[in-house]
Amino acid sequence: MSKSIESVYHKLIVSCQALPEEPLHSSFIMGRMALAAKEGGACGIRANSREDIAEIQRNVDLPIIGIIKRDYPDCPVRITPTLREVEELMEVRPEIIATDATCRIRPDGRSLAEFYASVREKYPKQLLMADCSTLEEMRYADELGFDFIGTTLVGYTEESSGLRIETNDFELIRQAVSLVKHPVIGEGNIDTPRKVKRVMELGVYSVVVGSAITRPQLITKTFTDALKEGGK
């Protein structure tokens, strides 16, 4: 069950992920979470792991951005870091495969360009999304030929330390949309309906929202933190 990726144009993609240490870690739960997201109007899903994606595909007929988060010793790159993870994802064939597209060397010693070339050679028709942290990385991924450019890692890398995606009315997104030729997907700390609407107005292809929808422990914390502030 799948739909063309064009169905997410100017629509919401919901990230349904729970890591092993999180309360909702379960492929079954992620499948139901994706179904709930679809019922709420989401037109696409971002998901982590071959098992979760397979379960989500049994529950919804929405296009999926697939990733595998895997930790390697002494390497900060963990979003689909090597060809091994790509090959695992190809067993369930998500419409898009997203990968860390930062300037950092990957755990197998390859540069982004080397990794990209190996994936394109083996899977020339697979759509690829570049998870970037800086404007320079977005421009480079665009030049390499990634099908989608994502703002996913802004503020999460050493190179982007201190950057916030919403600074100066999402200036980084506005620059990316104007500079790259491939579609930009807004992602990363876009955690309110107002932000989603504004980012879409700036010309992104679609917007991904995750924790603000699918991590109840973090959603709950926003309420309990508000009570603590009120008591001061």
- Interval 26-50: pLDDT, tens: 999 999 999 999 999 999 999 999 9
Query: What architecture is the 5-230 domain classified under in CATH?
Result: Alpha-Beta Barrel (3.20)
Residue 176 has pLDDT above 50, yes or no: yes
Q: Which residues pair with 207 in a beta bridge?
A: 12, 186
As a whole number of angstroms, the distance between CA 211 and CA 205 comes to 20
Which band of pLDDT confidence, cut at 50, 70 and 90, is reported for residue 1? Answer: very low
As a whole number of angstroms, the distance between CA 120 and CA 1 comes to 24
Residue 230 has pLDDT above 70, yes or no: no
Domain boundaries, the chain: 5-230
Q: State residue 2's pLDDT score.
A: 40
Burial class (CB within 10 angstroms; exposed 0-12, middle 13-18, buried 19+) of 101: buried
Which band of pLDDT confidence, cut at 50, 70 and 90, is reported for residue 61? Answer: very high
Orientation of helix 193-201 relative to helix 167-179, angle to 10°? 40
- b/e per residue 158-190 (b: at least 16 CB within 10 A): eebeebebbeeebebbbebbeebebbbbbbbbb
Residue 232 has pLDDT above 60, yes or no: no
- What's the distance, Cα to Cα, between the start and end of the chain in Å? 52
The proportion of the chain whose per-residue pLDDT surpasses 70, expressed as a percent, equals 97
pLDDT tens across 115-142, in order? Answer: 999 999 999 999 999 999 999 999 999 9
Which band of pLDDT confidence, cut at 50, 70 and 90, is reported for residue 73? Answer: very high
Contacts of 161 (CB under 8 A, 6+ apart): 155
Q: State residue 107's pLDDT score.
A: 97
